[in-house]
Chain A
């Protein structure tokens, strides 16, 4: 027997701002007005000094690959054909980072400089980023 469960998750103030900026083709980080610490995806509170955050700053989007993998399986555990390369990207001067796909024409390396490639049709989703590609 299967029981389907349905949920709807409000993104909250900070993440809604992030998703809205993705729709505009930009990356935004939260900036603590107290200690200056920046975080992406943005938070409504500072992860360093725990103060509330109301300031957001669009960032350039250029970052570096912290780690990567070429994956041969999809979410169902079945063969991914073709294999997909995943990267975790950190951005200059910003804490946090993003998990996403890498342009399949790029051979990844740790530390490689990359930038996001946005889709033409955007809806305010992490999928508005098509993938990251080499700078």
Chain B
């Protein structure tokens, strides 16, 4: 089996808005950092996989906008829709064909360009059964949150525990835009947007760009890509077949990854959480924690000094939610955290959006 490594990562910090740069300039800066980190030049890259959603960007065929600013001109180039962790998986699969030595994976979010995000998200639903009702996606997420709390025995306050943890974790992360030394009580005092969700439980969209260099060359590798998996869950655009309160994709994706590695325990988890309950739902679905999720959360088990830190980077609630780039945001944070020497392995996970039941996992490891 061919080994795959992360050779280098680059990002520009999350911000509510980059009004001094367009997305090309943001991507350029992230890619330059990734090349510098890897110690290679664009000439040594065989291809580019970009994550993008024309839907968010308001432009058609956005992959044709990508190669120039990331050093991919006249090279293999493809666009992968859905979350950017899926683009990482596509990069890994390209490398495993044996026809490529080094692949650059890129993603960005220019959420500040989108003036009516909730209406854009509405367009992802069935035009006959859902769109005429005009639900805000917070409403659909709240239906999921309610079902999860009912099924799991967790309480609405547990969502505030997640949000406060992640905002505090983000204080250590210079790339975070929404770090805050906040308390559960302060999150609990934020307005209710759609019961049981409060404003403080929602990750705020942000501007962000990241680039990751994947390689089959061990001498370039910083962190090993141990395994990966992707799965669609029980989602349907009319929401009729959705299993409310469950992340059906999570365990299915993890089972695919488990076929590629004997590793069954990791030192931390990074998971994109557009909402506080997204983190808990996915952790529950992974089925790798013996105790109940809410008890572990309340006991501090997911804190940065707990037995399984979850989102030590601050997650999307602490850093900002860069739409489809969230998966690459998680992967870059994971690589940076592994390289501190404090941890040796991690699970990276990212759903395909705020309310979609589908997503990807990647297992990373540093060689002892």
Knowing A96-B241, A99-B135 are in contact, say whether A69-B128 is a contact too (CB < 8 A): no
A34 at the interface (CB under 8 A from B): no
The answer to whether residues A99 and B193 also contact, given A41-B240, A69-B142, A74-B136 and a CB cut-off of 8 A, is no
CB distance from A110 to the nearest CB of B (A): 5
Contact between chains at B130 and A67 (CB < 8 Å): no
Type the 1/0 row for A110-128, where 1 means its CB is closer than 8 Å to any CB of B. Answer: 1000000000000001110
Instruction: Note all chain B residues with C-beta closer than 8 A to A98.
Output: 129, 240
A93 at the interface (CB under 8 A from B): no
Q: Are A70 and B195 in contact (CB under 8 A)?
A: yes
One of B79-87, B143-151, B312-320 contacting the partner: B143-151
By the criterion CB–CB under 8 Å, are B138 and A75 in contact? no
Answer whether residue A40 sits at the interface, using C-beta atoms and an 8 A cutoff.
Answer: yes
Contact B146 A75 (CB under 8 A): no
Tell me if B133 and A67 are in contact (CB < 8 A). no
CB distance from A28 to the nearest CB of B (A): 13
**B143:A88 contact, CB within 8 angstroms:** yes
Q: How far is the CB of B317 from chain A (nearest CB, A)?
A: 18
Find out whether the CB atom of A71 lies under 8 angstroms from the CB atom of B133: no
Query: In chain B, what residue has the closest Cβ to A77?
Result: B118
B116 on the interface (CB 8 Å rule)? yes
Q: Check: B127 CB closer than 8 A to any chain A CB.
A: yes
A6 CB-CB contact with B under 8 Å: no
Contact in complex: A75, B134 (CB < 8 Å)? yes
Residue B191 interfacial (CB < 8 Å): yes
Q: List, in ascending order, chain B residues with CB within 8 A of A59's CB.
A: none
Known: A75-B136, A99-B133. A67 touches B146 (CB 8 A): yes
Q: State whether the Cβ of B238 lies closer than 8 Å to any Cβ in chain A.
A: yes
Whether A127 pairs with B132 at a CB distance below 8 angstroms is yes
In B54-86, the 8 Å CB interface with A consists of: none
Q: How many whole Å from B66's CB to the nearest CB in chain A?
A: 21
Q: What does the 1/0 interface line of B143-161 toward A look like (CB < 8 Å)?
A: 1111100100000000000
Report how far A127 CA is from B240 CA in the complex, Å. 16
Chain A's closest residue to B244 (CB) is A67
Q: Is B139 an interface residue (CB 8 A)?
A: yes
Residues of B within 8 A of A101 (CB): 133
Complex CA distance for A102 and B147, rounded to whole angstroms: 17
Query: A124's closest neighbor in chain B, by CB?
Result: B128
Q: For A41, what are the chain B residues with a Cβ–Cβ distance below 8 Å?
A: 129, 238, 240
Is there an interface contact between A9 and B127, defined as CB atoms closer than 8 Å?
A: yes
**A102 CB to closest chain B CB, in angstroms?**
12
With A9-B127, A69-B194 known as contacts, the answer to whether A126 contacts B133 (CB < 8 A) is yes
Q: Is the CB of A71 within 8 A of B142?
A: yes
Q: For B184, list chain A residues within 8 Å (CB).
A: none
Q: B194: which A residues are within 8 A, CB to CB?
A: 69-73, 86
10 CB < 8 A contacts A-B = A9-B128, A15-B129, A67-B147, A67-B244, A70-B194, A72-B192, A75-B118, A76-B116, A126-B133, A127-B133
By a beta-carbon cutoff of 8 Å, the part of chain A in contact with chain B is: 7, 9, 11, 15, 19, 39-41, 47, 66-77, 86, 88, 95-101, 110, 125-127
Beyond A15-B129, A73-B194, A75-B136, 10 additional pairs, beta carbon < 8 A: A67-B144, A68-B143, A69-B139, A73-B136, A73-B138, A75-B134, A86-B139, A98-B240, A101-B133, A127-B133
